[in-house]
Amino acid sequence: MKKRIVCFGDSNTWGYDAVTGGRFPDEVRWTGVLQEILGAGYDVIEEGLCGRTTVFEDPLNEGLSGLEYLLPCLMSHSPAAYLVIMLGTNDCKERFSATPKNIADGMKRLIVKARHTEAWSDEPRILVVAPGPIEKECEQSPVAGEMGICSEKSERLAEEYRVCAEEHGCEFLDAGPVVRMNRIDYMHLDAESHKRLASEIAAVIRRRI
C-alpha cells in the first residue's frame, strides 16, 4: 500500500492564487509538487480549506475550526503514514484576539488529538509547519478588512510552534525563510514558493519514512 501523507491546512494548502482569485493548478500547488517529488510510493492527500483555523470557531463563517474536522479527516484517509499541519495564518485575524501563545496552544490541541486517533499505519508521525509570516503590507491590502492587524503576531508564530513541536515529539519546519508572499494581499504564497516549500517538506518526510 502507498504511504499516505495527509496535508492539513488552510488556503495556502488549498492553493489560493491572489493574482487570479482562483486556485493554482495541481502541478503548482505544494501538495502536487510534493506528490511529484515523493513519487509513486506515496499518496499525498490535500486537505486545505480557505479560512481554516487551529481551534477557533469563526463567528462569520461556518466549519473552519481544524479541531472539529481533524478526527474525521484522519479516519477517512486511514491508514495514514504522516501528517503535515500548516495552520495559524487565519488565527492571526484581529477578530480572534489570540496571542501567538494562544495559537500555538491551538496547534498543541491538534497534535494531541491526532496522536490519539486510530488512523495511523504505524506510530504517529507529525510535521508542524509554521506558515510564512503575514507581511505588514497586508494590513493595507484588499484583505485588510478581513484580517485586521495581524502581521506582528504572525511573525512570532514560528518560535512558539518550534517549542510546541519539540515538547510533543513532532518534526518542525519554519516556512518563513523558504517562502515569499505575493505582492497583492501579502499573505498567500506566490507560485515559486509552493515549489520551494514542497522540496523542504519532502526532505523532512524522507528522513522519517
Task: State residue 109's pLDDT score.
Answer: 98
Residues 163-195 as b or e (16 or more Cβ within 10 Å = b): ebbeebebbbbbbeebbebbebbbbbbbeebbb
Report, as an integer, the average pLDDT of 195-203: 98
Evaluate whether 67 touches 54 at the Cβ level (below 8 Å): yes
Overall pTM surpassing 0.95 (yes/no): yes
Give the residue extent of every domain in the chain: 3-208
| CA–CA distance, 76 with 7 (Å, rounded to integer) | 13
* Per-residue pLDDT at 209 exceeds 90: no
CATH architecture under which domain 3-208 falls: 3-Layer(aba) Sandwich (3.40)
* CB of 128 closer than 8 Å to CB of 167: no
157 close to 103: Cβ distance less than 8 angstroms: yes
